[in-house]
Amino acid sequence: MGRWRDGHGELVVGEVRVPLEIATSYRARTKGLLGRDAVEGALLLSPASSVHTFRMRFPIDVAYLDRRLRVVAVHTMKPGRLGLPRLRSRHVVEAGAGVMEAWGMRVGVRVEVAAE
């Protein structure tokens, strides 16, 4: 798996490949999706065990991943919410509300991150 840096890559969920923005620095993780009207593909926050949607403009799907990139929880969050920390979560993937189900992102699924 290695260490990622801020940048871009692909999220692989089974046969599905999704454009991925990677945010690993404090600054990039703090900014996240704030100020955006949508997200193209998904955003990986690492390390992260919780997220919030304060000052966000749209609802998002949030997947919490453990250190082996296995999904431990998936939730849809409306703007203005605070997500509870997940004990085993080391990474969080955010995407537009409703898309993760279509990707097959569910508890127990292991995903891959291909960084550019």
Dist. CA 78–CA 57, nearest whole Å: 9
Predicted structure pTM score: 0.95
Of the two residues 3 and 86, the one the predictor is more confident about is 86
- Any idea which residue has 């260490």 for tokens? 3
22-58 tens-digit pLDDT: 999 999 999 999 889 989 999 999 999 999 999 899 9
Q: Which tokens is 33 given?
A: 């999706």
pLDDT at 31: 92
Picking from 43, 80, 41, the residue whose alpha carbon sits closest to that of residue 58 is 80
Dist. CA 116–CA 100, nearest whole Å: 22
Give residue 17's identity as a one-letter amino acid code: R
Q: Which residues pair with 94 in a beta bridge?
A: 43, 62
| Confidence check: pLDDT of 102 > 90 | yes
| Confidence check: pLDDT of 2 > 70 | no
pLDDT at 3: 80
- Any idea which residue has 């082996």 for tokens? 68
Q: Which tokens is 107 given?
A: 């508890």
| Confidence check: pLDDT of 106 > 70 | yes
55-101 tens-digit pLDDT: 899 999 999 999 999 999 999 999 999 999 999 999 999 999 999 99
- Tell me how far the alpha carbon of residue 5 is from its chain's centroid: 15
